């Protein structure tokens, strides 16, 4: 079985590989990443835009495969939070006809990061400008969530949550 992931980010590819290893029908799948456009802003600022980005990545990477996975992280408005926003990861699995969607847990970044994002920066740039990291590629490593939780919840684990919840519908159709 061939699986494509609409990203070349190693964290996203590893997340898909590790989750699929838990499923008998997918454990021997060959997983490859493709650099595909999301069709949304570099840092989505709504749940709808984040899910649309994941769906676009899945559709755009559906090439010579059985399933393609699109993963997109972005902000969504959440009432009663300190900043008004939480970050979430969306996963879309595409089989050429249907999508199977899943979401991760949501988390709230510091206000300074949210301000930079609302001014047009992506999460990597915002975390760097806020002085939380020296890396412009934190999203390809532990992620800001990994930094803020001191490694208790990493970008890969949070991405795996979205893949796992998308697999629920695929596995039970």
Regions of the chain where pLDDT drops below 70: none
Distance from C-alpha of 30 to C-alpha of 14, rounded to nearest angstrom: 12
- Whole-model pTM: value is 0.95
Are the CB atoms for 61 and 100 separated by under 8 Å?
no
Name all domains of the chain by residue range, CATH numbers in brackets.
2-107+159-171 (3.90.950.10)
């Amino acid at each position: 079985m061939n699986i494509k992931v609409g990203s070349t980010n190693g964290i996203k590819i590893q997340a898909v590989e590790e989750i699929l290893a838990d499923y008998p029908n997918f454990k021997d799948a060959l997983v490859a990443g493709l650099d595909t456009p999301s069709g949304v802003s570099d840092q989505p600022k709504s749940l709808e835009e984040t899910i649309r980005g994941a769906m676009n990545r899945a559709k755009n990477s559906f090439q010579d495969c059985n399933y393609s996975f699109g993963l997109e992280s972005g902000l969504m408005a959440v009432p009663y939070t300190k900043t008004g926003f939480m970050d979430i990861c969306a996963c879309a699995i595409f089989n050429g006809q249907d999508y199977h969607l899943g979401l991760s847990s949501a988390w709230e970044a510091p206000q300074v990061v949210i301000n930079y994002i609302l001014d047009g920066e992506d999460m990597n740039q915002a975390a760097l400008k806020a002085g939380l990291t020296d890396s412009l590629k934190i999203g390809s490593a532990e992620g800001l969530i990994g930094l803020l939780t001191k490694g208790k919840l990493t970008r890969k684990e949070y991405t795996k949550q979205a893949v796992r919840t998308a697999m629920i519908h695929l596995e039970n159709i």
